[in-house]
Structure 1
């Protein structure tokens, strides 16, 4: 006889959905089945054992949680975020599952260690996938999907079925060959003080390094281990050749830093520090060392490129510094447009959804401007000491905090607007023809118009456009179903139309704030400062104190960014608490006495997204930061 789960909460069962979801009461969904036989052999063995001891749904929930952890970790590589998500999701359904999430190696344990599975998950920053898999988990545990539907949706997401065509193009090579040169050239100017000359050379280096990475990835296997070696070497060679044969008036640092900026993994450096502050010493230190060594390899190979190209590399390195930082960006009107162009390239590298890029750009701009203006303020003070790092500390704390606050504000605003839009699409409230609210009608019309516009210019998802058309059919059939004189007894949809509904159910969940926040943090992080320290180790400057200042600046920048994230999160929590104290009691009095269990995401002070359980959340609740 099968054992029952210790504390089951089957919010994702067919019975629960049909009882509590308004859409399931009117639309007859086909019962989709996930095929476990396609699972890896070790996971399949655990699935079969759990199915015998408990039941099929309990076993499938384990599979879902494990796959969620793997895909979120691959897409973002943030152990704190993934761990907090899995912990509360497991508690929701009484799943006895634990895990150890390392930088690369993941371990999963079931039923007090009776089963153990291990996986290696490499870096692959992917904002859209990180957001999508968080939404799938939200839809499942909020009781809007069955576990079979969620597992099938995960499978389709990995196949690119729910990504826009333009998103698929820039997701991988050869589409990314457009993004790398754009990012290299703009970074060389906006972050490393280069001119249009350095920007042009960096663009060439970015294109060549992209071709090298594309080729080695296509070869696969151990060839991928050569990517950093080849990228660093060819960047050093191309930059040195231009310096040698074109007048010797280039800032080589700007070219190298701009080209290799994407390969430095500076975000992981700050994440490692956040993990250390949160008490995850083993993971944090491992990540810290891994990023430092990876950056050192890039710098060594870049110097090898200089060595085989130039006769006196040490003298050239000292001479080229006179051409660096010759522009005062604060004096030029095109500083912000150039930064936005760089931000677009960064969002493309992070596989950010194109139709949502405006959100990411606003978060990036807020962080950059706060950092830039605070730094300028300190530099312009008459009593500011040139050798202290107070300006670095203050500007980075303000920049990171501004990014968090902007991301939270945009999330709260768009969640409120989207809740009205998706309530109409998914029949989760009164239809716009049944309510007196003209504002709801205007919002729905505006958003549906924007959806059609994005599809016309080729950057939107066709699922969104087709769902707007399907909503009219569902509403008409719902009216006929409620009419006692009409012969309709159920609403039956085609398989393609069911796919649209499930897609809309997932995207009705709140956008994950870290998907907006991390590209902005990436542009604030000190990956390049690590490279500067290694370059000065390989080719020491004449003034030995300069090297010490670089290391001090690196640590101040890193810690201040981590503190800025924590400060921003604390401010959000305080503001949320004030609003909860003022409006919370009034809302509870007005809420109907329903007991549906919901999930929402909040931000703890350790820099990871936590999940809180609210037993009486309304249907339009979202996942705020």
Structure 2
């Protein structure tokens, strides 16, 4: 007979859901069943064994946790954050599971190593059609006691199919809609980051459009053809930029064109994430990621140079001659401040499009991006101006500006998250009947907040960028409130709340979206713009075509100073937020609130306090 061991009490059982979610006591949900037969053969085998040994729910929790890890890793490729999410979920639902998360290869272990599954999960932002933190929201809703494991697994399937995304979001997050975003990002990056003029911006936009068409075509072909994306992108960027140099007067700065176009394809964020992992003790993944990003960038640079070789007669001479046309404008001097900021906002909007950010949440991402950039810019200008007459040249200004800029992004993201979580908690409490209804409370502020957010939802849907589910939920809320009153009325015959199947789907959608947006969803685009992906490219270009004057700018030293200072800035920013939050809760919060807050400390960013094996319980024997 199989050794059937009782599993721990879990918050996702039906009985537990009724205890934690008041709406579950009254709404008669139709039974939703996830079909395990669709699972891969090896995962199905483990599922079957766990089901026999424990129960169906426990086995499905393993499937859910593993799929959450794969989708988060594919979308963000951040081992520290994914590991903390899995650890939190495993602890809350009583799941005996451990894991090893590499850069590409993921390993999952169950029941002291009785079962082991491995997956290769490539770095792929196209993993999900939702906003970046959708799978974290689903996991949070599950272990917070608002979803059953069947509902959570089905919601994961629907999320990957795009059923919970606005039509405009689906359009901009996939080709051909992304052909609008790529040229916009290429042209603005060429100016704001690489000192290009309107001429270089125009050529970069053309290169962006061509490279976007190439990527779109190769993705449509699929299979081995996708391996040619970097080769084709680098080659055609080199050819187009060199043709404009050869055939047009006045000449162009090729650095601005190349860097602005290829910025889309640089994994600069992964470079800094690798350094953060090294600092946190994840040496294997950190070093592997560091090398992988460097090699990928090298391939892009080699192919761009090969494109020059096919187009001009003396590529080395052209590359050195074009340097005199670069850096001809100073944004701080030649541009009004509002123009510089507007240009950066335009670039930031394009980056948010690359990251499939929800359109109605753009304002959050833009504020975080702008805070990091402006602090970085102003600190850098301060050091430059203070040393203008001394002639001293060092990297202290780079270090200070990057630490301050990254820390400012983290603090801004955390502040916006805390503010919006408070506001959304009032809004969703009304929608989901989790507290006193606005007709039952004297708080005018709650009524105003609910009315404002409802108005924004209707406005976004009116202009076509919002989710229809959000607007339909406003209409469903009236029905829920009315039937909730009838259920609570002892003189009324109603005993439960009856919903149509589509209304149940709508309610589950709202339950997931009521969970907090993860801070990394707002922070990642800002980090992407701060990181030195282009500096890696500069180092490789100087390696392929050394400067003819024999000058050595020590690009590698600048690269390391920039990268390490940004990684430290992220850690410093999180430490500042956690310290401030700890002081506030120590002084103002109750003991229970402090304990609840402690459960979520360092969870959102996953950097401070990380350790190589923090997902493994100190009690090696799990008492199965």
TM-score by length of 2: 0.94
Partner of 2:101: 101
Give the distance between the partners of 1:293 and 1:597, measured in 2 at CA. 40
Give the distance between the partners of 2:285 and 2:103, measured in 1 at CA. 6
Partner of 1:401: 407
Partner of 2:618: none
Tell me the SS of whatever aligns to 2:108. strand
Report the alpha carbon displacement of residue 521 of structure 1 after superposing the two structures with TM. 0.3
Report the alpha carbon displacement of residue 608 of structure 1 after superposing the two structures with TM. 6.8
Partner of 1:622: none
1:353 and 2:373 aligned: no
Q: How many residues end up aligned between the 2 structures?
A: 607
Structure 2 vs 1, CA of residues 300 and 596 (structure 1 numbering), >3 Å: closer, same or farther?
closer
Partner of 1:150: 152
1:528 and 2:530 aligned: no
Report the alpha carbon displacement of residue 73 of structure 1 after superposing the two structures with TM. 0.4
1:34 and 2:34 aligned: yes
Give the distance between the partners of 2:390 and 2:514, measured in 1 at CA. 50
Give the distance between the partners of 2:229 and 2:499, measured in 1 at CA. 49
1:164 and 2:166 aligned: yes
Give the distance between the partners of 2:549 and 2:565, measured in 1 at CA. 26
Contact 1:266/1:525 (<8 A) preserved: yes
| Partner of residue 186 from structure 2, selected from 184, 187, 203 | 184
Give the distance between the partners of 1:151 and 1:170, measured in 2 at CA. 26
Partner of 2:136: 134
Give the distance between the partners of 1:136 and 1:512, measured in 2 at CA. 12
Q: Cα RMSD between the aligned structures? A: 2.2
Between stretches 472-481 and 153-162, larger displacement belongs to 472-481
Contact 2:282/2:611 (<8 A) preserved: no
What whole-Å deviation, never above 9, does each CA across 1:587-621 have from its counterpart, x for those lacking one? 769x9xxx9998673545448799x99xxxxxxxx
Contact 1:26/1:491 (<8 A) preserved: yes
Partner of 1:21: 21
What whole-Å deviation, never above 9, does each CA across 1:299-355 have from its counterpart, x for those lacking one? 000000001100111111111111111111113121000000000000000000110
Contact 1:5/1:95 (<8 A) preserved: no
Partner of 1:70: 70
Give the distance between the partners of 1:202 and 1:6, measured in 2 at CA. 62
Unpaired runs of at least 5, structure 1: 614-625
Partner of 1:283: 285
Alignment of 1:152-551 (within 5 A): 152-331=154-333, 332-333=335-336, 334-382=339-387, 385-548=391-554, 550-551=555-556
What whole-Å deviation, never above 9, does each CA across 1:27-75 have from its counterpart, x for those lacking one? 1111211111111111111100000001001000000000000000011
Contact 1:138/1:599 (<8 A) preserved: no
Report the alpha carbon displacement of residue 94 of structure 1 after superposing the two structures with TM. 2.3
What whole-Å deviation, never above 9, does each CA across 1:354-395 have from its counterpart, x for those lacking one? 100100000000000000000000000146554200110000
Unpaired runs of at least 5, structure 2: 616-624
Give the distance between the partners of 1:479 and 1:609, measured in 2 at CA. 50
Report the alpha carbon displacement of residue 542 of structure 1 after superposing the two structures with TM. 2.8
What whole-Å deviation, never above 9, does each CA across 1:285-305 have from its counterpart, x for those lacking one? 111111000000000000000
Tell me the SS of whatever aligns to 2:106. strand
Contact 2:107/2:116 (<8 A) preserved: yes
Tell me the SS of whatever aligns to 2:589. helix
Give the distance between the partners of 2:470 and 2:231, measured in 1 at CA. 43
What whole-Å deviation, never above 9, does each CA across 1:387-442 have from its counterpart, x for those lacking one? 20011000000000000000000000000000000000000000000000000000
Report the alpha carbon displacement of residue 111 of structure 1 after superposing the two structures with TM. 1.2
Structure 2 vs 1, CA of residues 292 and 6 (structure 1 numbering), >3 Å: closer, same or farther?
farther
1:584 and 2:589 aligned: yes
Give the distance between the partners of 2:611 and 2:131, measured in 1 at CA. 16
